[in-house]
């Protein structure tokens, strides 16, 4: 390089400063930007197919793809979230008003237990159900207040939500239209070899598509199956439990079992044997089969990551980034593996002395 080294260092410092400042001003809308990128990656193949088939301009194909994305991916999430809030608020309201009497359920549960189980509960200090009933009731009250508060907060934050939503749609349109050019510019700016950049780009897109599509299909399948069996067994608020099982299915290995397993145990303990057996068998061999068989095929196969790494990266991503973490966690893990693979494959070979 013929330029003055001091000038080059100054340019690098300026570049780092303005990049950090740019990221800082984008942070309030990082969710909108993140999901615009994710949806653009998912729907870019559709946009290219539409453009090749109908020979339309990029503006029209991007707008058409945006409309399809809105109908099949975005609106269902909004509707499901609204139903979840409505069903949750209704359930907690019934608990708070006493229409659902937790105390009588617990008392009935204890009476149905065999003597050895009652002695075991007494030995561990929970034989007296009064304190346990009060704790559960207080927890239900707090849950009711939390749902009401969240609904009220959502109402107060409607303007912010609408702004973020339209920012996401606006960015998604341009990412669909100009995505190829943007990717090309990023690849030019990254100071790596062409083969290395291509490898990282392929890994990035594969992980995003496999993780989002795989987890969404798993969530939909387990939510529908769980809600259907709850409805057949006449369990109240089946829609709420279906949505909860769908969300909890984002957690590999455990997932929807957090919901259906305690209900099956409750049925068995209260003498409703056939309901408990049916729910237990259905949850184990149908809902569990979806998670244990299809998840590695849809998620682990395309990401080329072992199941344990998919599990721990998903859990870690959810813990750090919230709901966005089910994509960010496996994505970071996949890029971690790819980057270390590039490093170990191209570092200088050191000849050990004999």
pLDDT band at 346 (very low <50, low <70, confident <90, very high): low
Band of pLDDT at residue 194, cut at 50, 70 and 90: confident
pLDDT tens digits, residue range 30-64? 888 988 998 998 898 888 888 888 777 888 999 99
- Three-class DSSP category at 290: helix
Residues 174-200, mean pLDDT to the nearest whole number: 83
What is residue 349's three-state secondary structure? coil
Do 259 and 241 meet the contact criterion of CB atoms below 8 Å apart?
Answer: yes
CB 332 within 8 A of CB 317: yes
How confident is the model over 240-291, as pLDDT tens digits? 788 888 877 776 666 788 888 888 888 887 778 888 899 989 988 888 877 7
Q: Is 165 in a helix, a strand, or coil?
A: helix
What's the whole-model pTM score? Answer: 0.71
Q: How far is CA 128 from the centre of its chain?
A: 39
The string of DSSP codes covering 99-129 is: SS-HHHHHHHHHHHS-HHHHHHHHHTT---H
CA distances from 42 to 75, 81, 101, 167, 281 (A): 16, 22, 47, 18, 36
């Amino acid at each position: 390089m013929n330029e003055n080294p001091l000038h080059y260092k100054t340019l690098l410092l300026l570049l780092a400063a303005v990049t950090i400042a740019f990221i800082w001003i984008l942070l309030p809308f990082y969710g909108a930007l993140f999901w615009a990128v994710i949806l653009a990656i998912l729907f870019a193949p559709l946009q290219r197919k539409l453009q090749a088939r109908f020979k339309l301009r990029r503006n029209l194909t991007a707008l058409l793809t945006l409309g399809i994305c809105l109908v099949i991916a975005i609106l269902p999430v909004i509707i499901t979230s609204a139903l979840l809030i409505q069903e949750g608020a209704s359930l907690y309201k019934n608990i708070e008003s006493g229409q659902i009497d937790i105390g009588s359920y617990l008392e009935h549960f204890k009476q149905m237990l065999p003597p050895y189980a009652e002695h075991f509960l007494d030995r561990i200090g929970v034989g007296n159900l009064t304190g346990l009933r009060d704790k559960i009731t207080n927890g239900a009250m707090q849950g009711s207040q939390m749902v009401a508060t969240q609904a009220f907060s959502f109402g107060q934050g409607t303007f912010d939500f609408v702004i973020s939503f339209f920012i996401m749609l606006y960015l998604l349109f341009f990412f669909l239209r100009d995505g190829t050019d943007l990717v090309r510019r990023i690849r030019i700016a990254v100071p790596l070899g062409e083969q290395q950049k291509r490898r990282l780009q392929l890994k990035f897109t594969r992980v995003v598509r496999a993780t989002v599509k795989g987890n969404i299909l798993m969530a939909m399948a387990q939510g529908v199956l769980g809600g259907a069996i709850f409805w057949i067994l006449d369990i109240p608020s089946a829609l709420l439990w279906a949505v909860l099982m769908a969300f909890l299915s984002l957690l590999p290995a455990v997932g929807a079992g957090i919901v259906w397993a305690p209900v099956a145990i409750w049925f068995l303990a209260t003498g409703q044997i056939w309901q408990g057996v049916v729910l237990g068998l259905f949850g184990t061999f149908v809902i569990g089969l979806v998670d244990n068989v299809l998840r590695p095929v849809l998620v682990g196969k395309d990401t080329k990551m072992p199941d344990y790494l998919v599990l721990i990266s998903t859990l870690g991503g959810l813990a750090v980034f919230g709901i966005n973490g089910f994509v960010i966690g496996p994505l970071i893990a996949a890029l971690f593996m790819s980057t270390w693979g590039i490093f170990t494959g191209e570092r200088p070979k050191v000849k050990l002395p004999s």
